[in-house]
């Protein structure tokens, strides 16, 4: 059995979470995380035992002034690892590709980068096998991950004739206080939205149309799905199908979980790190059949649903486990996913 | 040519606007408005020249204490008018039906009441003729009015095979400071939502499925529409179709009108009363064709789109004008609708 | 009696309003307004009869492509006017000073610029006389205008020993959908805030300390004031004092005007242009005496309270009226201020 | 050394947290928690190992239908414990007093109840000694606890001549999606607010004036404090003073902790249960001296700052520890407070 040494480039919303999730596993470990500024995230990274690196030695001074120890540069760090998880801001990640390749480290990017950068887009349930021993991969965005987790089981069991989704997107993450809107609904005027084609990077044969709207909330994305299936179904069958899936969490308005804020409250009671909801939260009582089609609502925790996917991508790419289902089960167990 | 004397029962968000719109017409006039409490709305009603009535003589004392003159009770007012526009809160309106009938006045309710109350639901473009000389009618809700205005022209010109709409609803009106959510997205878990069947009270033969979500905004509802048409179309044809309609206002993200707040800013520049947007605001640059279907986004000003419809309903029910198109044109002109 | 020809440089939130307010007066007129991009504001400016100019002839093409007629450049416009009201974004205004001086036009800037730019800061009630025949002036910011209107009468009648104010600031204007926060309270950590010293540019001898906080609202700033007065008072005296002032509007929670959103609703009923509240809205029922000091809350409409001040500044600087009280009364009457 | 058996009546926002905090201690334990409805909080309480009780046996059916086991009624539970922590909604707690007294159990209420109910109001640093062996106590509200923690050290070290505070209150807790406002600032028009007198229930001799405003945020209350001290100070002295206190957490805008949302992000990195911030978060860079007075901003986590105070109140009232400082240190250690 192998063991992977890992760098995280970018210790922000996603990087912090990947750090925690990786170190909870028994077959991989964080060697260091890369941060550009000496903020509270940097300080608490040290408290958590992560060695801090900077992209450029010019930045070391600012960290020293803040009393934060720096272990070296990204370049130094890449010499010590087998794989880097790039969690830098959207479109910044691409600029590091040549460095990663030159250094001979495997690399995982997030969904803010284009499919073409890695030429392979990953979702653990849908294409784990294709990731084994790869050098480059992109874990798809939070929204695409959420759509894939909902649609892939339907495609497997019933066949998807056509999927439609409306994405009501939270406009900013909880800590992004500079971003609005405060009081507006903002449609993505180009129709359909880019999310449908992004699902096709994982499931190329599915017919899907998506539209998107941005709203003044910070907590979760909400997806309204309408799916025409090739085979007949009853709503109870779909509930059963999802209950058997590893990264679906069924919630119910009847239990008081009536909105995205209530899901975040539920998450506080589940005791995961940072109160994250790593699964798709699908409303059991929204699953219905109308005019022959499947309707449902799900909520996606934009900051965390891609985190277990990153762990699985590492395991596949580094050849630590050849069975996707086993990797998913291991990842879940160590992250507290599944009852 | 006739002339109608009108009572407004309930001088809140809708009642205030119906009052202004009616008095702007030349063939009808407000005799009095009914208010339950001596608030700033009551004070400004007096300033606007409206006589104030109360539902119950018990309430007169509170108005007198606030220095607001009361002209009488609802009962008194109903003796002086031909028709009452009921703008009382949802489900309160129904309780007045027997009084209106007993007093022999025609009555219009708003969309918060059930279709069955009046046994007739109204939209000026779709069924003006059916309202002529009726005693009872319901002007459908802001959302149903908005959906009808968008779908009726499509049904007339292309035939609607199936309409789908996602309603992203503002959670409260601008002045309703007690209502939330502040930071959550709230799905309507019963699927589909009641809006589709409500459209069928006006257009019984259309196949429609709607879903709804509530978001933390006060400004407008936003509708995402996907429509399968019976005949072929190009997006430009749809733009032309809507440009010819009396209560559609085409906006464009390219002109900086990129969200619901910007539409409200645009409305401030148009100079209508209370900065209202009485038309459906449809984004020209969202009108598109994908996988053979029509896609578009529209925004609906929940406080005002039903106001011109109320004026037309009065005109039809009181027999002031037999031609719906003429009534719509008159109403629009006096309300500043249309360039 | 004189007559002033006026340019507005910057036709955004403030410029649009200054345009309307100036053209409502009988002794001044807008010759043209300057806009950098062909947005809906530009289109509606044309509809209102304003000639449109651009800062730079390079920009004309974009307007022509959008079908909007351009009358010339800022340079052309300045040749036709006596005074320019600069409503460009914060800190941009300063860059135009040399052009205005070179062209020999008088200039008014807004509160986003530093006092030093014009070496004179203006408030109509406090220092109209000092503005007469001046070439350069700065109308102080919405917050400073609001504080001055509340404090100047107190200083005149009772003497201010020490004023304290907490400014709970709306984080963005209604149309600024890109600005946050969506869900955070943001303190201005430098204490005290810059607002106190800014009041001293108008009232140099007053002792004042201010603190500021930004909150997720778009509607109005709210000020909590605590003032130690040199002479004794009763709350009723303060109510009387403010009732006699030209740009104070007393509101009352008892009448249902319980928050900033309700003031905006009240404004819709008052029928001013764009539903603006040009006065300080002071809550009558908040005026109280505690531990010997005066306490009160007021709300300030950030988009409009400085508009009548700009009109008065024009009148003083262009020598159209030598009596400040007369100018204020004229401005108010034409803008619908005062019952 | 004693050991206390505890009931929690009301397993909502506060009750859940008291449950976790109590069970983290070594000298006390939860025997059962009381819940009125079979919601997700009830389900997760079972998962955490808490026995569930209901106020009335009528309610058992609803729980059984939801598949949740009920251990008995509140009456049964009170027979098994020495002390009950009442976390029922505001003003409901008072109605249980006679039952608690009759059953001979000690009782702690929260700050939503009046001081007079228990005739003793508690804060661990200020009056632990007075709580020893008491039967009834009220832990003061989140805001009063926050004000007391900030003011008590100042009173001890410098003497407080006069304290002023403006409370910018979050309008709803994160899970209270029905409460607004969505877009308004709501002043508490009665001046001063009730918070000052409530501080006097703990520190009777301090002169304090408070005002309060409600804003559209769910995350934390923010307090602006201005304090006239009897003895001279420098800002650095105050930083040192607070650094030595057990329930103050100094944050800094310079480290990126610039608002209440950022404090909540910081809390996620600290790894406490539910990401709670149990301490007052005081901005180090806001601590300043102006016109001879101390100015500072602090943020108060409304859901959790009173939780460690409840633990200390239990310890004092049950006679488990006679030294307040030792109790505070024990509580903190087990809750992860203090580095």
Contacts of A47 in chain D (CB under 8 A): 269
Using 50, 70 and 90 to split pLDDT, how confident is the model at A191?
A: confident
* Pairing, β C28-34 against β C4-9: parallel
Instruction: Dihedral sign for Cα A259, A261, A263, A266, please.
Output: negative
Give the one of C177, C179, C183 whose C-beta lies nearest to A186's C-beta: C177
Please state, as a whole number, how many other Cβ atoms lie within 10 Å of the Cβ of residue B248.
17
Token digits for B154? 């499509």
Residue range A138-160: average pLDDT?
A: 98
Token digits for A132? 């084994």
Q: DSSP letters along C140-165, please?
A: PPHHHHHHHHHHHHHHHHT-EEEEEE
| Per-residue DSSP letter, A50 | P
Q: pLDDT tens for residues A176-188?
A: 999 999 999 999 9
Burial string for A164-188 (b: 16+ CB within 10 Å, else e) reads bbbbbbbbbbbbbbebbbbbbbbbb
Give the one of D176, D182, D186 whose C-beta lies nearest to B216's C-beta: D182
Chosen for mutation from C182, C188, C216 (greatest number of chain A CBs closer than 10 Å) is C182
Residue range C136-144: average pLDDT?
A: 98
Whether residue D289 is found in the same domain as residue D318: no
Q: Which residues of B fall below an 8 Å CB-CB distance to D?
A: 171-172, 174, 176-184, 186, 216-218
Give the one of B162, B184, B297 whose C-beta lies nearest to A261's C-beta: B184
Please state, as a whole number, how many other Cβ atoms lie within 10 Å of the Cβ of residue B204.
7
Chains in contact with A, where contact requires at least 3 CB pairs less than 8 Å apart: B, C, D
- Chain-chain contact of B222 with A211 (C-beta, under 8 angstroms): no
Residue-wise pLDDT tens for chain B (339 aa)? Answer: 689 999 999 999 999 999 999 999 999 999 999 999 999 999 999 999 999 999 999 999 999 999 999 999 999 999 999 999 999 998 899 999 999 999 999 999 999 999 999 999 999 999 999 999 999 999 999 999 999 999 999 999 999 999 999 999 999 999 999 999 999 999 999 989 999 999 999 999 999 999 999 999 999 999 999 999 999 999 999 999 999 999 999 999 999 999 999 999 999 999 999 999 999 999 999 999 999 999 999 999 999 999 999 999 999 999 999 999 999 999 999 999 985
- Chain-chain contact of B216 with A220 (C-beta, under 8 angstroms): no
ipTM of the complex as predicted: 0.97
Whether residue A134 is found in the same domain as residue A11: yes
Chain A: closest CA distance from residue B256 (Å): 12
Residue range D2-31: average pLDDT?
A: 97
- Chain-chain contact of D177 with A262 (C-beta, under 8 angstroms): yes
Domain of residue D175, residue span = 142-300
Chosen for mutation from A180, A184, A302 (greatest number of chain C CBs closer than 10 Å) is A180
- Chain-chain contact of B288 with A226 (C-beta, under 8 angstroms): no
- Chain-chain contact of A218 with C176 (C-beta, under 8 angstroms): no
pLDDT of amino acid D303 = 97
pLDDT of amino acid D91 = 85
Whether the pLDDT of residue C339 is over 70: the answer is: no
Q: pLDDT tens for residues C227-245?
A: 999 999 999 999 999 999 9
**Portion of chain A with pLDDT greater than 70, in percent:** 99
Whether residue B204 is found in the same domain as residue B278: yes
Whether residue B56 is found in the same domain as residue B117: yes
Q: Which residues of C fall below an 8 Å CB-CB distance to D?
A: 162, 164, 166, 168, 170, 181, 183-187, 189, 191-192, 207, 209, 211, 213, 215-220, 222, 224, 226, 253, 258-262, 283, 285-286, 288, 290-291, 293, 295-297, 299
Contacts of A213 in chain C (CB under 8 A): none
Whether residue D148 is found in the same domain as residue D253: yes
Chain D: closest CA distance from residue A301 (Å): 15
- Chain-chain contact of D269 with A174 (C-beta, under 8 angstroms): no
Whether residue A221 is found in the same domain as residue A292: yes
Whether residue D62 is found in the same domain as residue D135: yes
Token digits for C163? 């004023």
pLDDT of amino acid B273 = 94
- Chain-chain contact of A185 with B211 (C-beta, under 8 angstroms): no
Whether residue B12 is found in the same domain as residue B71: yes
Chain mean pLDDT for chain C:
97
Q: Which residues of B fall below an 8 Å CB-CB distance to A?
A: 162, 164, 166, 168, 170, 181, 183-187, 189, 191-192, 207, 209, 211, 213, 215-220, 222, 224, 226, 253, 258-262, 283, 285-286, 288, 290-291, 293, 295-297, 299
How many domains does chain A contain in total?
A: 2
A142 in catalytic set: yes
- Chain-chain contact of A257 with D41 (C-beta, under 8 angstroms): no
Give the one of B177, B178, B181 whose C-beta lies nearest to D177's C-beta: B181
Burial string for A316-338 (b: 16+ CB within 10 Å, else e) reads bbbebbeebeebbebbbebbebe
Contacts of D184 in chain B (CB under 8 A): 177
Taking Cα atoms as reference points, which of C268, A327, C280, A1 lies closest to residue B275? C268
Token digits for A98? 């040549």
Contacts of A40 in chain D (CB under 8 A): 251, 255-257, 262, 265-266, 269
Q: pLDDT tens for residues A80-97?
A: 999 999 999 988 999 999
- Chain-chain contact of A44 with D261 (C-beta, under 8 angstroms): no
The SS3 call for residue C221 is strand
Please state, as a whole number, how many other Cβ atoms lie within 10 Å of the Cβ of residue D113.
21
Give the one of B183, B189, B222 whose C-beta lies nearest to A219's C-beta: B183
> Which residues lie below 8 Å from residue A252, measured CB to CB, with a gap of 6+?
A283, A284, A285
Contacts of C270 in chain B (CB under 8 A): 44
Chain A: closest CA distance from residue B278 (Å): 18
Q: pLDDT tens for residues D76-119?
A: 999 999 999 999 998 899 999 999 999 999 999 999 999 999 99
Q: Which residues of C fall below an 8 Å CB-CB distance to A?
A: 171-172, 174, 176-184, 186, 216-218
- Chain-chain contact of D183 with B174 (C-beta, under 8 angstroms): yes
Whether residue C81 is found in the same domain as residue C178: no
CATH of residue C314's domain is 3.40.50.720
Contacts of D217 in chain B (CB under 8 A): 182-183
* Pairing, β C106-109 against β C160-170: unpaired
- Chain-chain contact of B66 with C183 (C-beta, under 8 angstroms): no
- Chain-chain contact of C191 with D215 (C-beta, under 8 angstroms): no
- Chain-chain contact of D275 with A273 (C-beta, under 8 angstroms): no
pLDDT of amino acid B339 = 57
Whether the pLDDT of residue A339 is over 70: the answer is: no
Instruction: Say how many CB pairs under 8 Å bridge B and D.
Output: 53
pLDDT of amino acid A1 = 63
Whether residue D78 is found in the same domain as residue D171: no
Please state, as a whole number, how many other Cβ atoms lie within 10 Å of the Cβ of residue B270.
18
pLDDT of amino acid A168 = 98
Chain D: closest CA distance from residue C228 (Å): 13
Give the one of B48, B175, B261 whose C-beta lies nearest to C262's C-beta: B175
Among residues B42, B77, B108, B142, the one annotated as catalytic is B142
Chain C: closest CA distance from residue B83 (Å): 24
| Per-residue DSSP letter, B93 | G
Chain B: closest CA distance from residue D181 (Å): 4
Whether residue A170 is found in the same domain as residue A294: yes
Whether residue C127 is found in the same domain as residue C181: no
Among residues A4, A14, A18, A142, the one annotated as catalytic is A142
- Chain-chain contact of A177 with C180 (C-beta, under 8 angstroms): yes
Q: What is the Cα–Cα distance from D28 to D32, expressed in whole angstroms?
A: 12
Q: pLDDT tens for residues A192-230?
A: 999 999 999 999 999 999 999 999 999 999 999 999 999
Nearest chain C residue to D215 by CA distance is C215
Give the one of A175, A251, A259 whose C-beta lies nearest to D261's C-beta: A175
Using 50, 70 and 90 to split pLDDT, how confident is the model at A338?
A: confident
**Could you tell me the CA-to-CA distances from D161 to D153, D194, D204, D228 in Å, in that order?**
13, 20, 13, 5
> Which residues lie below 8 Å from residue A93, measured CB to CB, with a gap of 6+?
A10, A86, A109, A110, A112, A113, A117
Among residues C124, C142, C151, C154, the one annotated as catalytic is C142
Whether the pLDDT of residue D339 is over 80: the answer is: no
Q: DSSP letters along C262-279, please?
A: HHHHHHHHHT-GGG---S
Whether the pLDDT of residue A57 is over 70: the answer is: yes
Chain B: closest CA distance from residue D257 (Å): 21
CB-CB contact of D269 with A12 (8 Å): no
CATH of residue B185's domain is 3.30.360.10
- Chain-chain contact of A171 with C183 (C-beta, under 8 angstroms): no
């Amino acid at each position: 059995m192998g063991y992977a040494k890992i760098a995280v480039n970018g210790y922000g919303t996603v990087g912090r979470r990947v750090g925690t999730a990786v170190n909870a596993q028994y077959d991989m470990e964080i060697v260091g995380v890369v941060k550009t500024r000496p903020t509270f995230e940097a300080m608490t990274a040290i408290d958590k035992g992560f060695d801090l690196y900077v992209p450029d030695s010019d930045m070391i001074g600012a960290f020293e002034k803040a009393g934060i120890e720096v272990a070296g540069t990204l370049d130094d760090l890449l010499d010590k690892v087998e794989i880097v998880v790039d969690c830098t801001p959207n479109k910044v990640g691409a600029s590091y590709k040549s460095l990663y390749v030159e250094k001979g480290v495997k690399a995982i990017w997030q969904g803010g980068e284009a499919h073409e950068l890695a030429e392979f887009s990953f979702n653990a349930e849908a294409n784990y096998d294709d990731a084994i021993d790869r050098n480059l991969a992109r874990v798809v965005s939070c929204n695409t991950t959420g759509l894939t987790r909902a649609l892939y089981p339907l495609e497997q069991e019933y066949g998807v004739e056509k999927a439609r989704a409306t994405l009501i997107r939270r406009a900013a993450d909880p800590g992004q206080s500079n971003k609005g809107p405060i009081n507006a609904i903002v449609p993505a005027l180009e129709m359909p939205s880019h999310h449908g084609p992004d699902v096709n990077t994982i499931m190329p044969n599915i017919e899907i149309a998506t539209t998107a709207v941005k709203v003044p909330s910070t907590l979760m994305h909400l997806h309204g799905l309408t799916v025409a299936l090739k085979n007949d179904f009853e709503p109870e069958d779909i509930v059963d199908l999802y209950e058997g899936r590893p990264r679906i969490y069924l919630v119910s308005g009847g239990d008081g979980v009536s909105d995205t804020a209530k899901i975040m409250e539920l998450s506080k009671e589940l005791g995961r790190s940072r109160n994250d909801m790593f699964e798709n939260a699908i409303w059991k009582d929204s699953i219905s059949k109308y005019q022959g089609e499947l309707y449902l609502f799900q909520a996606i925790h934009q900051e965390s649903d891609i985190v277990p996917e990153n762990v699985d991508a590492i395991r596949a790419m580094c050849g630590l486990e050849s069975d996707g289902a086993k990797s998913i089960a291991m990842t879940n167990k160590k992250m507290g996913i599944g009852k």
